[in-house]
């Protein structure tokens, strides 16, 4: 079953103060408020607004919408594209969006800062193979850097300081016996990383697909899987909502969680369709789509990796205390 996906520009008036929560600036917009979940304007389906980022990691939810999985669970999903959590988090907090997509580090940091955020469905997970994952540290083909410990004294591009890329690199360098404090981490947006490395402005980049494949096409080398190697079976991101939503409409949350589990499984069972759906919401060219590595799409979040990420963030001084697992993830959404 194929349905036309409805996309809207994100409209988030509030600015999110935590620079760690997101991978870019907020998108501008003056859209009217979206219709709140619970209305009956869609022929018996409950309309919901979900904030997502135009990257390969959200292929499963696009497949779920396109294949009618959410409709089967009584939901009429509107997917709203944003640059990152800096736009999605305040929109979910204000009720303009019902659910949002974010990396786990940003959710943990937000929770530590008092934001009532909780993961209700998992997103992508690392393949566990540093040489074949959707995220990799890339260096120029002729670079003297051969392994992650060699990054000491060099500059490394991360899309946002103090987010999951920064945190996993911190841990990876530490595990290799290096000093993360001796590495110069520099903020560079994902689309600009390859060109900044080729220009010599940074020595290495923490790329995610499709930029890993694009860097390889230009002759760059993969020296480290920063999602696959430092934390075992890392669940990278998740779909979250607020405590208020969980209290006020648990049936809606349950429907969304169940639909996401089915969508994740569908993406796992139909990898070619997961790649094909990328053309619906990204501008990745067909050649790159064919070559890129997709993440895993499990039904349940890896709780051990979530707890380890909390510990790493505390070691970095980014959170005061390790949050209780029950504060971070909905019961039944992880294992």
Q: How confident is the model at residue 43 (pLDDT cuts 50, 70, 90)?
A: low
Q: Give the end-to-end CA distance of the chain in Å, rounded to a whole number.
A: 31
Contact criterion met (CB below 8 Å) for 328 and 119? yes
| pLDDT tens readout for residues 82-141 | 877 778 988 999 999 999 999 999 999 999 999 999 999 999 999 999 999 999 999 999
Residue 333 has pLDDT above 80, yes or no: yes
Residue 55 has pLDDT above 80, yes or no: yes
> How many Cβ atoms from other residues are within 10 Å of residue 153's Cβ?
11
| pLDDT tens readout for residues 294-331 | 999 999 999 999 999 999 999 999 999 999 999 999 99
37 vs 13: CA distance, rounded Å: 20
- The CA-atom distances, in angstroms, between 306 and each of 24, 27, 104, 325 are 23, 28, 7, 8
Over residues 170-198, mean pLDDT: 95
Over residues 212-229, mean pLDDT: 96
Over residues 237-244, mean pLDDT: 97
Close Cβ partners of 322 (under 8 Å, ≥ 6 residues apart):
307, 310, 311, 314
Q: How confident is the model at residue 31 (pLDDT cuts 50, 70, 90)?
A: very low
Q: What percent of the chain has pLDDT over 90?
A: 79
133 vs 87: CA distance, rounded Å: 27
Sign of the C-alpha dihedral computed for residues 225, 185, 57 and 104 taken in this order: positive
Predicted local distance difference test score (pLDDT) of residue 18: 33
What is the bridge-based pairing of β-strands 155-158 and 237-242?
Answer: unpaired
Half-sphere exposure of 321 (CA within 13 A, CB side): 8
What mean pLDDT is reported for the chain? 87
Over residues 68-81, mean pLDDT: 97
DSSP state of 165: H
221 vs 64: CA distance, rounded Å: 34
From 178, 186, 104, 181, select the one nearest 145 (Cα to Cα).
Answer: 178
Q: Does pTM surpass 0.75?
A: yes
Contact criterion met (CB below 8 Å) for 158 and 165? yes
151 vs 145: CA distance, rounded Å: 7
Residue 197 has pLDDT above 70, yes or no: yes
Predicted local distance difference test score (pLDDT) of residue 82: 85
From 86, 79, 98, select the one nearest 27 (Cα to Cα).
Answer: 86
Triad 29, 30, 34: Cα angle to 5°: 100
Quote the tokens at residue 66: 């396109």
3-state SS class at 200: coil
Contact criterion met (CB below 8 Å) for 249 and 37? yes
- The CA-atom distances, in angstroms, between 151 and each of 148, 191, 242, 282, 285 are 6, 22, 39, 32, 31
Over residues 23-34, mean pLDDT: 32
Predicted local distance difference test score (pLDDT) of residue 248: 96
- The CA-atom distances, in angstroms, between 287 and each of 47, 153, 221 are 36, 35, 19
Residue 3 has pLDDT above 80, yes or no: no
DSSP state of 79: E
Triad 162, 168, 172: Cα angle to 5°: 130
Contact criterion met (CB below 8 Å) for 263 and 269? no
DSSP state of 3: -
Quote the tokens at residue 63: 């497949």
Q: Domains in the chain, please, with CATH?
A: 7-126+234-328 (3.40.190.10), 135-224 (3.40.190.10)
Q: How confident is the model at residue 245 (pLDDT cuts 50, 70, 90)?
A: very high
3-state SS class at 11: coil
Residue 33 has pLDDT above 60, yes or no: no
């Amino acid at each position: 079953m194929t349905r036309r996906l409805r996309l809207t520009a994100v409209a988030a008036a509030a600015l999110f103060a935590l620079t760690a929560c997101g991978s870019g600036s907020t998108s501008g917009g003056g859209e009217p408020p979206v219709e709140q979940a619970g209305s009956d304007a869609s022929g018996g389906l409950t309309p919901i607004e979900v904030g997502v980022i135009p990257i390969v990691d959200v292929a499963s939810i696009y497949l779920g919408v396109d294949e009618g999985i959410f409709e089967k669970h009584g939901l009429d999903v509107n997917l709203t594209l944003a640059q990152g959590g800096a736009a999605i988090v305040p929109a979910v907090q204000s009720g303009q969006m019902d659910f949002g997509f974010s990396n786990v580090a940003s959710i943990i940091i937000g929770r530590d800062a008092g934001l009532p955020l909780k993961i209700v469905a998992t997103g992508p997970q690392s393949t566990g193979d540093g040489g074949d994952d959707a995220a990799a540290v890339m260096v120029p083909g002729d670079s003297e850097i051969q392994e992650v410990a060699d990054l000491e004294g060099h500059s490394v591009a991360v899309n946002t300081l103090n987010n999951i890329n920064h945190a996993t690199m911190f841990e990876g360098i530490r595990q290799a016996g290096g000093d993360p404090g001796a590495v110069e981490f520099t903020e560079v947006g994902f689309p600009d990383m390859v060109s900044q490395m080729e220009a010599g402005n940074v020595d290495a980049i923490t790329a995610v697909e499709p930029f890993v494949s694009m860097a390889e096409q230009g002759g760059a080398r993969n020296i480290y899987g920063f999602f696959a190697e430092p934390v075992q079976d890392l669940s990278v991101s998740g779909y979250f909502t607020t405590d208020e939503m969980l209290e006020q409409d648990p049936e809606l949350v349950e429907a969304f969680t169940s639909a996401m589990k089915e969508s994740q499984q569908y993406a796992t069972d139909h990898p070619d369709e997961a790649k094909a759906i990328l053309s619906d919401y990204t501008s990745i060219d067909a050649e790159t789509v064919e070559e890129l590595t997709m993440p895993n799409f499990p039904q349940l979040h890896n709780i051990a990796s979530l707890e380890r990420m909390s510990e790493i963030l505390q070691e970095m001084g980014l959170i005061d205390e390790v949050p209780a697992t029950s504060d971070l993830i909905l019961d039944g959404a992880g294992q």
